[in-house]
Amino acid sequence: MMKARLGGLLSVLWAILLSLPLMNGVDRSKFRTCAQSAFCGRGRNAAQLGAFALDPETLKASDSRIQAVLWHTGSQIRFRFELQALMDGTFRVGLREAFPLVPRFEVPNVLLDETPEGVAWTLEEQSPEGFTASTASTGHRVKISHAPFRVAFFAGEKLRVTLNARDLLHFEATREKPVQAGEGQEAAPAQEPGMWEESFGGNTDSKPHGAQAVGLDFTFHGSEDVYGVPEHADKFNLPDTGSTDPIRLYNLDVFEYELDNPMALYAAVPMVMSQTAEITTGAFWLNAAETWVDVSRSGSGVLGSLSNLVTQGEKSVNVHFLSESGVLDAFIFMGPRPHDVSRQYGQLTGNTPLPPAFSLAYHQCRWNYNDQEDVRMVSDKFDEHDIPMDIMWLDIEHTDAKKYFTWDGRKFPNSLEMIQNLTAVGRKLVTIVDPHIKKDNNYWVHKELTDLGLYVKTKEGNDYEGWCWPGASYYPDFLNPAAREYFAQQYVYDKYQGTTKDVFTWNDMNEPSVFNGPEVTMPKDLIHHGNVEHRDLHNMYGHLYVMGTFDGHILRSEGQQRPFILTRSAFAGSQRYAAIWTGDNTAEWGHLAASVPMCLSLSIAGISFCGADVGGFFGNPDGELFVRWYQAASFQPFFRSHAHIDTKRREPWLYNESELKLIRNAIRTRYSYLPLWYTLFYENEMTSIPPMRPVWYDFPTDTDAFTVEDEFMVGTALLVHPVAKSGASHVNVHFPGREQYWYDILTHERIDHEGSMNIPVKMDHIPVYQRGGSIIPKKERIRRSSALMHDDPITLVVAVDKDNTANGTLYIDDGISYDYRAAKKSLYMQFVFDGQRLSGHQLHTPGYQTGSWLERVVFVGMEKEPKSAKLMSPTGKEEVLGTQYEARKNLLTVRKPGVNMAEDWEIVFQY
């Protein structure tokens, strides 16, 4: 009795203790500010260091390349400038030292092997002040002024983007280290603090090559709205940084990150998109070193020096990229619409390949599921509570002492049987594989990587030892293709024992996280393959790591099966290999809200398969927050619940009956929309257009939508407004576009409203609307896992617009293999409703067989009841279909057309 009470008391105390240290927030002193970073301070004020000028004598224009010598009017140092015109409204600008003392790093493994071809320049006017050149095939013109040096891009007659309008072009050439101060052979800047050595938090960066920063500013004319440069827990519409630190891109493991903050996080994509009602443009700064990004709008009074290009009073936003090293290599995208910029960027860095179908379903994770009994219990409980679930996840504790590619044999003695039990109900398993390698001579991975010399080295040439989960650890040098290859080979089944084709991979801690390193990562003066400093490639370490994992998945299935990989760290192009989540968030309402801008930023920067830990990683969500999080995340691309090891268990059935029911509903709703998600991801691979997108993306002239951050679209069809406040009775929904109808997906109530509107909310769902004019494919027989639903019948929801029309698509394939590419084994249907007839028409070459058939068509917003509905198949067969009309709701249900989804068909109404 006594004992039980004491136990209860202790567990309460324990719960309080656990929740205390979790609420302290980020330790800012661990992470540098711009002022604590020498190159940031210098580059931010580059305009004061003197201007650049183009030497017209050296101008060469041949084919797609304009080349010239640029010189810095202060230091007189000369550089090679190149401007290349590419297909599809893309330009590439480069600036390189003519003769660097040490080779400067050029980013590999980010651009696709085949990037758009060049298009020819025509040199037009030339004068002592500058020249113009145009590309006939893309209709763009550039105007280059010699001194001060500027490059202005025009679409037609309109000035759209200017480079160096603020004279922030900056290039610190390599130089000899002054032997001693006062010898007189070096200009003053060489002796500035931080140019040859810099200390922070007890670490000294030796900078053997001295300062090597590069920077450039991009002005987007007519614009005030610019997005991108993920990953930050900050606004989607990038805030002005005039009175704050610049936005920082430096992949870091930030413990308990804070919201509304430009501090660096786990991923870095140096790409921005500028949005105006007239045009969408963009820029991509291809540099993997630490980068700071300043954003300033013309209203903030910093664009004075633009006088020769900008008419007074014109709106503009300037984005200044500044990197610690590397070369200046950047791209400008001329749009003109959001999906054009996505495509232009996708042609350079690739699209998200169609993921395996299960990965779009619901994932159940925690640090940790303790053992195989725990896994079995959790999996069984999902069935018991009638909640679908596709993937169980195992965090670091499943390994033998944090040695990846191994199992803790006591907790998981029968991993194969455990996996088989999961796959028997269509489920999969994900195991974690981190890049830090335990220092343990009995661990084959450590021994072999040591023998092969594949670890990152110190500047003295020894293997670099850091501290991470396993204790003393080493870090493979993934810049070296041999290290990626070595890792790839570890995934084959006879190496990674106890796994099967149904086991997928989670790459965490790949910023890389080094507990005892400067800013919890690697020192910048470590040495990679080819004598490259870590400084040069830091932001792409995680990217290079997931490349190896991806190769491993391809290798183990001999190229048959699509990989599924989740990564925490990412760089431009990582979308080709992995999904991403927003890292270690917290069980707070603000973090739920932040999942929207964070994933939107990643989406428009190409990384479209994004999600946030449902419930929040740190802390314990109460029932209301947990339910709201499920409701929001069920409409976000990557849908996974995850929690810190010190949090209370939070599987859905541990909440009360009404909360459990709401969580069940949210997850089941996700499953009903899986055909839509899969279709959107197929289209994402084909077109670069992200499935989760900002509301302005498809309504680019709706200027009020440019600042909407608390809702998003799923495709062009669903408008989703998460509820991210406790006790909310109303939310303010922005309905984008003009003359649009929106239908509540549950009540089918029509909203015929433009702009923002107060919508009452209850606990049972969040506001989600289907756009009038869209057709959504759904599956309404929810089973234990998506695999079990593969051949299930389809319901189409036809929501009509003002003209009583609608259209949509449906993509189907085997869900797992690459046959859809090689053998074109897939089905891509287009549905068009013209008010009289709904047709289903196959867009791919026929041949793919499916068991799936058309079970029901629901017409939403039908103001008139048709007399009859007739099904016509291409063979000429006609059949009268059963219908049901609810006049009060304008809802018409057509029952059992029964056609196979691979067939062409029509349903014709008689009035």
Ligand X SMILES: *[C@@H]1O[C@H](CO)[C@@H](O)[C@H](O)[C@H]1NC(C)=O
Q: Which of 24, 191, 308, 414 binds ligand X (CB under 6 A)?
A: 414
Q: Which one of the spans 13-21, 297-305, 413-421, 509-517 is the region binding ligand X (CB under 6 A)? A: 413-421
CB of 375 to ligand X, least distance (A): 7
Q: Which one of the spans 147-155, 161-169, 411-419, 484-492 is the region binding ligand X (CB under 6 A)? A: 411-419
Is 167 annotated in the active site?
Answer: no
Residue 165, burial from CB neighbour count under 10 angstroms (0-12, 13-18, 19+) = buried
Report the residue number, 328 or 723, with the smaller CB distance to ligand X: 723
Strands (E), 736-821: 742-744, 750-751, 755-760, 768-771, 774-778, 794-799, 806-812
How many angstroms separate the CA atoms of 664 and 658, rounded? 10
Given the residues 584, 613, 710, 792, select the one marked as catalytic.
584
657 binds ligand X (CB under 6 A): yes
CB of 10 to ligand X, least distance (A): 24
Distances (CA, A) of 703 to 276, 546, 738: 7, 38, 11
Report the residue number, 27 or 373, with the smaller CB distance to ligand X: 373
832 binds ligand X (CB under 6 A): yes
For 811, the token pair is 């993509």
How many angstroms separate the CA atoms of 147 and 493, rounded? 62
CB of 905 to ligand X, least distance (A): 16
Report the residue number, 832 or 872, with the smaller CB distance to ligand X: 832
CB of 830 to ligand X, least distance (A): 6
For 303, the token pair is 């664009």
List the helix and strand counts (H, then E) for the chain.
Answer: 14, 51
Q: Which one of the spans 79-87, 220-228, 457-465, 653-661 is the region binding ligand X (CB under 6 A)? A: 653-661
Q: How many other CB atoms are there within 10 angstroms of residue 264's CB atom? A: 26
Report the residue number, 690 or 773, with the smaller CB distance to ligand X: 773
How many angstroms separate the CA atoms of 226 and 236, rounded? 9
Q: Which one of the spans 313-321, 358-366, 416-424, 541-549 is the region binding ligand X (CB under 6 A)? A: 416-424
Strands 140-145 and 130-135, bridge-based pairing = antiparallel
Q: Which residues contact 670 (CB under 8 A, 6 or more apart)?
A: 361, 362, 634, 635, 639
Report the residue number, 191 or 658, with the smaller CB distance to ligand X: 658
Using DSSP's 3-state secondary structure scheme, residue 812 falls into: strand
Q: Which of 563, 773, 793, 815 binds ligand X (CB under 6 A)?
A: 773
Q: Find, among 271, 214, 200, the residue nearest to 39 by Cα.
A: 214
Contact call for residues 445 and 405 (beta carbons, < 8 A): yes
Report the residue number, 324 or 340, with the smaller CB distance to ligand X: 340
Is 508 annotated in the active site?
Answer: yes
For 615, the token pair is 């419930």
Report the residue number, 43 or 621, with the smaller CB distance to ligand X: 621
Q: Which one of the spans 487-495, 549-557, 652-660, 703-711 is the region binding ligand X (CB under 6 A)? A: 652-660
Phi first, then psi: give them for residue 393, nearest 5 degrees: -120, 145
Given the residues 217, 234, 477, 508, select the one marked as catalytic.
508
Report the residue number, 728 or 832, with the smaller CB distance to ligand X: 832
Q: Which of 418, 643, 800, 858 binds ligand X (CB under 6 A)?
A: 418
Contact call for residues 230 and 607 (beta carbons, < 8 A): yes
- Amino acid (1-letter code) at residue 650: R
For 764, the token pair is 């049972």
Q: Which one of the spans 39-47, 457-465, 639-647, 654-662 is the region binding ligand X (CB under 6 A)? A: 654-662
Report the residue number, 376 or 856, with the smaller CB distance to ligand X: 376
Write out the binding residues for ligand X, residues 605-624 only, by CB under 6 A. Answer: 623-624
Question: What single string gives the DSSP state of each residue in 688-725?
Answer: ---SEE-TTSS-TT-GGGGG--S-EEETTTEEE----S
Buried residues in 669-687 as b, exposed as e (16+ CB within 10 A): bbbbbbbbbbbbbbbbbee
Write out the binding residues for ligand X, residues 622-651 only, by CB under 6 A. Answer: 623-624
Q: Which of 203, 807, 817, 893 binds ligand X (CB under 6 A)?
A: 807
Report the residue number, 95 or 375, with the smaller CB distance to ligand X: 375
Q: Which of 75, 109, 174, 421 binds ligand X (CB under 6 A)?
A: 421
CB of 771 to ligand X, least distance (A): 7
How many angstroms separate the CA atoms of 467 and 444, rounded? 19
Give the rounded distance of the alpha carbon of 708 from its chain centre.
19
Q: Which one of the spans 72-80, 141-149, 260-268, 414-422 is the region binding ligand X (CB under 6 A)? A: 414-422
Give the strands of the sheet with 750-751, arranged side by side: 692-693, 712-714, 718-720, 768-771, 742-744, 750-751
659 binds ligand X (CB under 6 A): yes
764 binds ligand X (CB under 6 A): no
How many angstroms separate the CA atoms of 161 and 163, rounded? 7
841 binds ligand X (CB under 6 A): no
Question: Interface mask (CB under 6 A) for ligand X, residues 356-385, using x and -?
Answer: ----------------x---x---------
Phi first, then psi: give them for residue 559, nearest 5 degrees: 80, 10
425 binds ligand X (CB under 6 A): no
CB of 586 to ligand X, least distance (A): 19
CB of 685 to ligand X, least distance (A): 20
- Amino acid (1-letter code) at residue 595: S
Using DSSP's 3-state secondary structure scheme, residue 18 falls into: helix
Distances (CA, A) of 542 to 110, 300, 641: 12, 36, 23
Report the residue number, 155 or 798, with the smaller CB distance to ligand X: 798
Question: Interface mask (CB under 6 A) for ligand X, residues 173-212, using x and -?
Answer: ----------------------------------------
Torsion angle of C-alpha atoms 161, 58, 117, 688, degrees rounded to 10: -30
Contact call for residues 902 and 848 (beta carbons, < 8 A): yes
CB of 19 to ligand X, least distance (A): 17
498 binds ligand X (CB under 6 A): no
656 binds ligand X (CB under 6 A): yes
Write out the binding residues for ligand X, residues 435-494 only, by CB under 6 A. Answer: none
Q: Which one of the spans 68-76, 657-665, 745-753, 891-899 is the region binding ligand X (CB under 6 A)? A: 657-665
- Amino acid (1-letter code) at residue 166: R
Report the residue number, 745 or 799, with the smaller CB distance to ligand X: 799
Report the residue number, 547 or 776, with the smaller CB distance to ligand X: 776
Q: Which of 27, 417, 791, 886 binds ligand X (CB under 6 A)?
A: 417
Contact call for residues 406 and 400 (beta carbons, < 8 A): yes
For 674, the token pair is 């899986």
* 3-state SS record for 286-341: CCCCCEEEEEEEHHHCCCHHHCCCCCCCCCEEEEEEEECCCCEEEEEECCCCHHHH
CB of 627 to ligand X, least distance (A): 9
129 binds ligand X (CB under 6 A): no
Q: Which residues contact 146 (CB under 8 A, 6 or more apart)?
A: 53, 54, 55, 56, 128, 129, 130
Scanning the structure block, which residue is given the tokens 């028997």? Answer: 424
CB of 764 to ligand X, least distance (A): 12
Question: Interface mask (CB under 6 A) for ligand X, residues 716-755, using x and -?
Answer: ----------------------------------------
Catalytic machinery residues: 508, 584
Residues near ligand X (CB under 6 A): 372, 376, 414, 417-418, 421, 623-624, 656-659, 773, 807, 832
